[in-house]
Structure 1
């Protein structure tokens, strides 16, 4: 089994409120509350850990919230090695009301400095040199850190022959792509924002992914919500779909998809089988209440039902 490193440069304490009959502008009392270590890379870490992978989580945390974050991560049994700074780690709140479609979210931003990032890069290089095979860089960047932060991390990984999976959006995705990571995973909306195009059919999504492959990125996986996902490699195009299931919570499904892909690679599975596991993990996450989590019994049942077709 190969070692996986996840990078979360803008982690959070994720607070989840379950309420009934939410009323804007009035007092609302929670029926249930959860506080967890969060951030896209942490969701990836949690699922890989649940799969039994060899995982280490790193990134930048700070302040009292950062200490709470690390205690939650340790309680989850996720090995970690974070840079601790003075800047307070953010808190993100999700409000779930079963009678309201969708999830109401309040997302804080958090600060960082270029000096913090320089210190983190030193730590990151040290971790890479200790023996890492796959890196997953996920999520947004701290304010004050340049949009080219992922470029630095990707280039350091590539120098050492380490595969880098990038899952971010906006300017950090656009800049990160310049360093030619092993795989990127935008959803359709993020791909449209990236290219300035509005896709009318699947063929247009595939053609755009092929254009990205031609720039030197090895693999492009585009998630399509309820329509599954596509994976475009240098040689082939795959379409993956999942059966009709009861959806409980889609938050973290994209991160769970990344986790399945990374874990599959760590087990030397073929790329199409990695893709199958990726979709299975994303689907399983959507079928459970927790964010960035899987249920092994559901995963065992769902995986053989994932249909992978070569286009």
Structure 2
């Protein structure tokens, strides 16, 4: 089973326009609202790709019924710690003309020490059923930046492969626990390691430093440029596929889901990248935070090209 953790769930309200005018009038083509959160997105993608999954995390009491009904409708297992407050709302403005997303994300409600302790026990219990555990996304106020580090370290003892997809201090602190697989995007990668990436080889060199510290796999998503996956002595690049993009939200989470599926199937590194990019592409062709489907994933797989990177 692929188990995910979401500490800061949300409602994503996506507004689609054509030709964004900063400071001017923008005509809305259409809008949609989706229940979301990075770990939840990964679980939805995993489920729709045919693998068993479970969502763990915090759930706000004012929206508790809505959250549970949403996951039950999808047929996804969940276990949550209920806390006071309501779901945050994130506004996503997608410009069809440039395929660019502009985001306005709220903070989550404050979480206290007692809820954090209950969460740790929940994660430890969830590790008993998991082959892979995914730790990703932002955290609400009151949650320390070391939360992923401590939770990853706690579950690794049970033999679970751990995945980290976070930014800033959450990423840097989480790396100290040596997760199996990490997936920053290019901005997160450059910001965390204070570098300016000018080539794929730059990514490989830094990724190998991370791997030398105990991480097994490093994937850096490059948006419109594709993705790079580094593991051991190999490094692979998948350029972007020529597709009509309808929504970018959740594509990175689908990338994580696809690679996790490939890890479960013990595929080679190049095939892991193909799975990840095919899943991401299958999300990019859907609106809002709609995630990849098995049919679209299978259709995308043969269209994903990969090439080996040499230094």
Q: What is the TM-score normalised by the length of structure 2?
A: 0.91
Q: Which moved more, 1:200-209 or 1:101-110?
A: 101-110
Moved more, 6-15 or 171-180: 6-15
Tell me which moved more, 32-41 or 217-226: 32-41
Asked if 1:259 is matched to 2:283, the reply is no
Q: Which residue does 2:65 correspond to in 1?
A: 67
* Whole-angstrom CA distance in 1 between matches of 2:49 and 2:308: 26
Match of 2:269 among 263, 271, 274: 271
What is the CA–CA distance in structure 2 between the aligned matches of 1:224 and 1:104, rounded to whole Å? 17
1:116 corresponds in structure 2 to 115
Give the 3 Å change call, closer, same or farther, for CA 67–19 of structure 1 in structure 2: farther
User: 3-state SS of the aligned residue for 1:244?
Assistant: coil
Unaligned 5+ segments in structure 2 are: none
Map residues 162-181 of structure 1 onto 2, 5 A cutoff.
Answer: 162-181=160-179
Shift of the 115–309 alpha-carbon distance from structure 1 to 2, 3 Å rule, reads: same
Match of 2:242 in 1: 244
CA displacement 1:102-123 (0-9 Å, x = unmatched): 3343311112122211111111
From the superposition, tell whether residues 213 and 35 of structure 1 become closer, same or farther in structure 2 (CA, over 3 Å): same
The gaps in structure 1 that reach 5 residues or longer are none
Q: How many residues align?
A: 308
Change (3 A) 1:147 1:51: same
Q: How does 1:30-179 map to 2 (within 5 A)?
A: 32-96=30-94, 98=96, 102-110=100-108, 111-129=110-128, 131-179=129-177
Q: CA deviation at 1:75?
A: 2.0
Q: Distance in 2 between matches of 1:224 and 1:122?
A: 35
- In structure 1, C-alpha distance between the alignment counterparts of 2:23 and 2:307, rounded to whole Å: 49
Partner of 1:299: 297
Q: 1:294 to 1:113 in 2, by over 3 A?
A: same
Query: Once structures 1 and 2 are overlaid, which stretch shifts more, 157-166 or 240-249?
Result: 240-249
1:88 and 1:61 mapped to 2: Cα distance? 8
Contact 1:12 1:69 in 2 (8 A): no
Q: Which secondary structure state, in structure 2, belongs to the residue aligned with residue 81 of structure 1?
A: strand
CA contact (8 A) 2:101 2:248 kept: no
